[in-house]
Amino acid sequence: MSDIRAQGERVGPAVTLGLLAAWVLHDAEELATGPGWIRENLPALRKRFPGVPEPVWSAMEAVEPREFAVAVGVMAGFVGSAAVAGHRTGGRSGFYQGALDGFGLHGLVHLAQAAAARGYTPGSVTSPLVVVPFTLWARGRLRRAGVLKSARTRDVALGLALAAGATAISHAVARAVVGTR
């Protein structure tokens, strides 16, 4: 008898492949609102947060809508791969669990951004409605099945690094595809 069943609960596709579904809902919001929101709000953000280094603002300003859309597509490959790895291993995959943790932490970052901006930021609607609840639910299912790896401070940092690295790679690929600087 596998230790998944020994714990009394099986990790189904809603837990593993659900990561991709939750991500699609979240990134649909970012795709619909991100480029326009940045264009409209960047001048006010620069004034409000003068301590942010200019290269950060310049990088945000340089992202064109096509580049952003391609980057989202590349990220879909990362998230989809993690979801499939989770599905194939009954949720045991470290790649899947790291992506799940990175996704949830990414949602918390969106909420912090909205708090700092004192209003809406792209991704801040689906973060409390989809991202954070899905992550907590999936982690609970993994825990009940006995396959959740314990989350230590190192794991949290690794989850954030995974999300940041995948984002950076996605944008680098998108710039190469679209031909932006």
How is residue 150 written in tokens?
A: 């314990």
Q: pLDDT at residue 28 above 80? A: yes
Residue 162: which of 68, 85, 50 has the closest Cα?
85
Q: What is the pLDDT of residue 108?
A: 95
Contact by Cβ (8 Å): 61, 42? yes
Work out the average pLDDT over 78-90. Answer: 97
In this structure, how many other beta carbons lie within 10 angstroms of the beta carbon of residue 110?
A: 23
Flag whether pLDDT at 50 surpasses 60: yes
What CA–CA distance (Å, rounded) separates 77 from 99? 12
Rounded to whole angstroms, the Cα distance separating 164 from 173 reads 14
Mean pLDDT, to the nearest integer, of 124-140?
98
Q: Which of 17-21, 54-58, 77-81 has the lowest mean pLDDT?
A: 54-58
Tokens of 153: 């401070």
Q: Taking residues 1-9, what's their average pLDDT? A: 48
Q: Which residues of 77-106 are buried (b: 16+ CB within 10 A; e: fewer)?
A: ebbbebbbbbbebbbbbebbbbbbbbbbbb
Q: Rg for the chain (alpha carbons), in Å?
A: 18
70 and 179 Cβ atoms separated by less than 8 Å: no
pLDDT score at 47: 93
Does this model's pTM top 0.85? My answer is: yes
